[in-house]
Chains A and B, each alone.
Chain A
Amino acid sequence: MPDIKVTPLGAGQDVGRSCILLSIGGKNIMLDCGMHMGYNDERRFPDFTYIVPEGPVTSYLDCVIISHFHLDHCGALPFLTEMVGYNGPIYMTHPTKAIAPILLEDMRKLMVERKGESNFFTSQMIKDCMKKVIAVTLHQTVMVDDELEIKAYYAGHVLGAAMFRVRVGSQSVVYTGDYNMTPDRHLGAAWIDKCRPDLLISESTYATTIRDSKRCRERDFLKKVHECVDRGGKVLIPVFALGRAQELCILLETYWERMNLKVPIYFAVGLTEKATNYYKMFITWTNQKIRKTFVQRNMFDFKHIKPFDKSYIENPGAMVVIMPGFCVVGTVGHKILNGAKKVELENRQIVEVKMSVEYMSFSAHADAKGIMQLIQYCEPRNVMLVHGEAAKMQFLKEKIKQEFGVECYNPANGETCVITTMPDIPVDVSLSLLKEEAAIHDRLPPDPKRQRLIHGVLVMKENSMCLMDVDRACSEAGVNRHQIRFTSTITLDDPGPPSRTAEKLQQLIAGRLKDWSVQLTEGSSISVESVLIKVETTEDDQKNVLVSWTNQDEELGSYILELLQNMGR
């Protein structure tokens, strides 16, 4: 089975979620199991009936791998395990296993309690699902079964995000999930060794973007905040808790200190406390520099930033409030970002939106340059970019091909892409065979273009292959060596003793085969390698020339035979 098959689940040009089916060496793996946050019906979950229209899905899938805790990569997992009934192994890194349930629960609450969803997974289902997860460590090779092996690599992006290498036999695939190649304030850059997989699967979503530098985005952020507080206004900053909130705090704190600003900054505690604990727990996953600070002091104690209390809302004058949380579809935050001028709050109260709204993205994603760098690191034989429109990927495909000489595929959602690989089969060659060939090769004039030929027997022992000479192969197999000889007779009209005929023939042959040793032997015979030519007199005073050769000298023998047959014509 040299083919690798990949099918990104989803429909049309959907980029909202990741769920990829991989078939390699007879094993089936699901890479990520994301939920599409834009839909309110069953379209938000991947169509698992694609995997197997009826019956248990567990027997079809060998394992599920989750790259990181973002909901568009793991949001449908509880649905897969508790409602569709998948019972097999699920792999993710330790931080992902710790943090994913928090997000899943938050999202579940939102769907069920706020939006009145009925057919959704329950709190208990999330807990049961996570119990089935096997956590893995970076660079640890995990055997899913005796043939399928997986290994996680650091991906940057968010805490716990990993790229996974899947290997079966001599075939391997690397799936990147979301990653970034430039380190930011609290996370390092993705790294992978030169593992030379047959296929590298990556998102195409950011492949055509060149990101503005982090410092410029931060400058923009500070500019907007400063301008607002200068006017005496209030700034509300909802930020996705894990990671980004801390970064913004450091940014504001440093700026406030340098510019000697007195406007108060508040931080609404809540989700963040847990986040802080996770960061402390998973210290090895963070940036080198963050680690240094942790050793000295608690990085989350700030001079200018104080905990927020609801009563402060009434305080007059400028202030900045950082609120951890997220603005997924359905939340008030999301509506406001999309330009709503009136929103309905929890208590059914309708309020007008009179503030100016800005959206700033600090998230770390790979871009066009990043993808090229990653390909350079791991040297895949093929590249696949998912979630992209074919018409918009031609240049990148061409660029990758030109730069690295590898094919780039971009299947549409729901389309199966088949990659034919050339698996390497290692063969041991016996030393004596090599020496023999080397001796022949050295005798001939040097020619780098000449093909080097070894004759041997390919023997398969247990799981390895060996090339050895005939005699050894026979003895190992306990078989007697057979020789095949071909003999043909030509009748010639040549009076005189057979020895004379033999001489003439020898001269003729020697004349044509200048590189070979053509010997005249007794009994009116000629020998060239294993080809024997014997001349005999017949009853009618004609000469019978017997030409005989072994299987190995087929070419030589046929040549000589033809030469003799066509003499004098």
Chain B
Amino acid sequence: MNDLKMESNTESYCVMDDSDDDDWYYASISRFEQLQMFNFETPANHLDFSENDRICCTSKIRDRKQEIQEFILPEKVPASAFESHDLKLKTGGFSLNPVHQMKCLKGRRRLVLSEKDTVGASIYQLGYENSDLISKIDTVKCSVEKPQLSVYENKLALGSSADSIHLADLETCLASKCSVTDNSQEEIFGLSFVNINSLAYCKHHSGQVTLLDLRSGIANTHALFKETCSVADNSVLKVWCSFAVHSELNFFGLASSQGDIKVYDFRCVRNSPIFETKMDVEEPHFKGNFLQIVFSPHDMFSVSSSRGTVEVFSLKTEKMRCIFSYDGHNHHKLKNNILISNHVWSPVERNLIYSSAIDGSFHCWKFIEI
């Protein structure tokens, strides 16, 4: 009798439609130290930190126009009971062309954009006390169209192929072409400074990783994989779609559209990878192109999957494996196929990741290791 009474009581409390979600949220209490979920009007595609506690996002608004917004991230105000849960918009602006890449000059109130249908790169100023507008102040002139970007202190590297790598000084905005030993015109991606004197990049189809010494111009290319353009059983082209570098540990990582994940050490590339795994890629296979590998500032890396999750891996020698899987963007049973467009690790706090998805959601989550 008492049991029946209990049941009827519970039923009438299901006032909200999304009470189906309750279980996920209750479970999240022990899975996350911190969890915030936001909804942007238009999905954010590029993310980068302009300060340790501020993030810049770009999103497409209308036609070709893009909106750039700088937010202060949620934080606890010290010595008081007030915790900030919200994103505070601090500065904002517009770019006229679709953004190909965005890199912030952390701490210097500037960012660099590489835009579609433009050559070179644009420098934007983030707002100051007298204005909260983000506006273009300068151009880095060079003939590379839609270049890849990488920033290291005062230097900017730009290039879209091995033979078009340029270096620019961010104070003067003057760029000069690097003379390099590799003159291939194949498209490159993942251009990154490994340290002040070396750049690394990868080629889409072959998966060839090149370490370029900027002083001598010598490009050391490692053909890591025997297959170049591999065609899988159902005739889907395999491309290497993500490349990232962990400068402190001297590691680099690759992800392919078929789900191959490989991490190597620059100093001993000829050996087998330090870590490798294969992730399932869901149909349709183009979803594999959403696989993005990102290194944490410490000893972890993460990969966004074709199922809209972020898989976190540990690089500690004693436990190289997946230590967490974030399903926040897709946890509701009515939502699926929400792919992650970008994700970044907090530069200061361990285990804290910010991820944006194609449905406009933007989540801040600090996971507790399994």
Which residue of chain B lies nearest to A184 when distances are taken between CB atoms in the complex? B16
A-contacting residues, B66-102, CB 8 Å: 67, 69, 71, 74, 79-83, 85-94
Contacts of A220 in B (CB 8 A): 35, 85
A213 near B19: Cβ-Cβ < 8 Å: no
Tell me, in angstroms, the Cα distance from A255 to B22 when the chains sit together: 9
Contacts of B12 in A (CB 8 A): 293, 296-297
With contacts A223-B29, A254-B19, A255-B26 known, is A369 near B39, CB below 8 A?
yes
The answer, yes or no, to whether A127 is at the interface (CB within 8 Å) is no
- Could you tell me if A339 and B37 are in contact, using CB atoms closer than 8 angstroms? no
Stretch at the interface among B127-135, B154-162, B216-224, B292-300: B127-135
Closest to B328 in A: A216
**Taking the complex as formed, is A231 at the interface, i.e. its CB lies under 8 A from any CB of chain B?**
no
* B25 lies within 8 A of A358 (CB): no
B85-A391 in contact (CB<8A): no
Asked if A273 CB lies within 8 Å of chain B CBs, one says no
Interface residue tally for chain B (C-beta within 8 Å): 53
> DSSP class of B's interface residues: helix, strand, loop or mixed?
mixed
Is B349 an interface position by the 8 A CB rule?
Answer: no
A293 CA / B16 CA spacing, docked (Å): 11
Cβ distance A332 to chain B, nearest Cβ, rounded Å: 14
CB neighbours of B62 from chain A (8 A): 403
Shortest CB distance B11–A (Å): 9
Whether B40 sits at the interface, judged by CB under 8 Å, is yes
The docked-state distance in angstroms from the alpha carbon of A160 to that of B317 is 61
Min Cβ gap B32→A in Å is 9
Please state if B133 and A368 are interface contacts (CB–CB under 8 Å): no
Given contacts A209-B87, A217-B85, A357-B81, whether A226 and B29 have CB atoms under 8 Å apart is yes
- Give residues 37-53 of B contacting A (CB, 8 Å): 37-41
The answer, yes or no, to whether B271 is at the interface (CB within 8 Å) is no
A210 to chain B, nearest CB (A): 4
User: A218 contacts the other chain (Cβ, under 8 Å)?
Assistant: yes
CA distance A393 to B133 in the complex (A): 9
Given A219-B28, A303-B9, A391 contacting B130 (CB threshold 8 A): yes
CA distance A222 to B30 in the complex (A): 11
Chain A residues near B74: list those with CB within 8 A: 212
A200-227 at interface with B (beta carbon < 8 Å): 208-213, 215-220, 222-223, 226
Given A226-B29, A255-B26, A259-B26, A359 and B83 contact (CB-CB distance below 8 Å)? yes
The answer, yes or no, to whether A185 is at the interface (CB within 8 Å) is yes
Assess the A219–B86 pair: CB atoms within 8 A: no
Q: Mark A25-66, 1 if CB is under 8 A from B, else 0.
A: 000000000000000000000000000000000000000000
Chain A, residue nearest B77 (CB): A359
Main secondary structure of the interface of A (DSSP, over half): helix
Check if A210 sits within 8 Å of B40, measured CB to CB: yes
- Minimal Cβ-Cβ distance residue in B for A209: B86
List, in ascending order, chain B residues with CB within 8 A of A255's CB. Answer: 26
Q: Which of B71, B79, B127 contacts A210 (CB 8 A)?
A: B71
A226 to B79, CA, bound (A): 23
The residue in chain B whose Cβ has the minimal distance to the Cβ of A257 is B10
Q: Are B22 and A258 in contact (CB under 8 A)?
A: yes
What are the interface flags for B1-41 relative to A under an 8 Å C-beta threshold, 1 for contact and 0 otherwise?
00000100110110111110111011011000001111111
When each residue 126-147 of chain B gets 1 if its CB lies under 8 Å from chain A and 0 otherwise, what string results?
Answer: 0101111110000000000000
User: Which A residues are CB-close (under 8 A) to B92?
Assistant: 395-396, 398-399
Interface hub of B87, B88, B93 (most chain A Cβ within 10 A): B87
Which residues of chain B come closer than 8 Å to A398, judged between CB atoms?
A: 92-94, 133
A372 adjacent to B67 (CB under 8 Å): no
Report the Cα distance A501→B17, complex, angstroms: 95
Cross-interface CB contact of B25 among A215, A391, A402, cutoff 8 Å: A215
Instruction: Give min CB distance, B128 to chain A, whole Å.
Output: 9
Q: Which residues of A contact B65 (CB under 8 A)?
A: 402
Contact (Cβ within 8 A) B25 A218: yes
A343 an interface residue at 8 Å Cβ cutoff? no
Residues of the A chain whose Cβ atoms lie less than 8 Å from the Cβ of B93 = 395, 398
Q: Are A213 and B37 interface neighbours, CB within 8 A?
A: yes
Q: Which residues of A contact B81 (CB under 8 A)?
A: 336-339, 357-359
Within 8 A of B (CB), among A165-223: 185, 208-213, 215-220, 222-223
Asked if A420 CB lies within 8 Å of chain B CBs, one says: no
A contact residues around B132 at 8 Å (CB): 391-395
Are A212 and B89 in contact, CB atoms less than 8 angstroms apart?
A: no
Bound together, the chains give a CA A238 to CA B105 distance in angstroms of 45
A213-B37, A358-B81, A399-B67 given; name 10 further pairs at CB < 8 Å: A211-B86, A215-B18, A220-B85, A257-B13, A338-B80, A372-B41, A391-B132, A394-B131, A394-B132, A395-B133
Can you name 5 A-B residue pairings with CB atoms under 8 Å?
A208-B88, A359-B82, A372-B41, A393-B132, A399-B67
